[in-house]
Amino acid sequence: MNRIVVLNPKGGSGKTTIATNLASYFAWRQQKPVLMDFDPQGSSLRWVRKRPAEFPPIHAVNAFEKDPRTTRTFQLRVPDFSTHVIVDTPAAVEAHELPDLTRDARKIIVPVLPSDIDIHACSRCIRDLLLVAKVRRDGDRIGVVANRIRRNTLTYQALIRFLQTLGIPIVATLRDSQNYLRAAEQGIGLHEMKSYLVRQDIEEWRPLIEWVEPSAAAPSAEAATAPAAGEPQELQG
Q: Residues 189-208: pLDDT tens digits?
A: 999 999 999 999 999 999 99
Q: Is pLDDT above 70 for 67?
A: yes
How many domains is the chain partitioned into structurally? 1
DSSP assignment, residue 106?
S
Distance, in Å, from the CA atom of 16 to the CA atom of 39, rounded to the nearest integer, reads: 9
Domain range enclosing 144: 2-235
Q: What pLDDT does residue 158 have?
A: 85
Q: What is the CATH number of the domain that holds 43?
A: 3.40.50.300
Q: What pLDDT does residue 224 have?
A: 47
Distance, in Å, from the CA atom of 206 to the CA atom of 44, rounded to the nearest integer, reads: 22
Q: Is pLDDT above 50 for 226?
A: no
Question: How confident is the prediction for the chain on average, in pLDDT?
Answer: 88
CB 125 within 8 A of CB 9: yes
Distance, in Å, from the CA atom of 179 to the CA atom of 193, rounded to the nearest integer, reads: 9
Q: What pLDDT does residue 218 have?
A: 52
Q: What pLDDT does residue 217 have?
A: 53
Compare 236 and 146 and report the one with higher pLDDT: 146
Tell me if the pTM is above 0.85: yes
β-pair type (59-62, 33-37): parallel
Q: What pLDDT does residue 219 have?
A: 55
Q: What pLDDT does residue 159 have?
A: 84
Radius of gyration of the chain (CA): 17
* 145-180 residue pLDDT tens: 999 988 878 888 888 888 888 888 999 999 999 999
Q: 145: which strand partners?
A: 111, 172
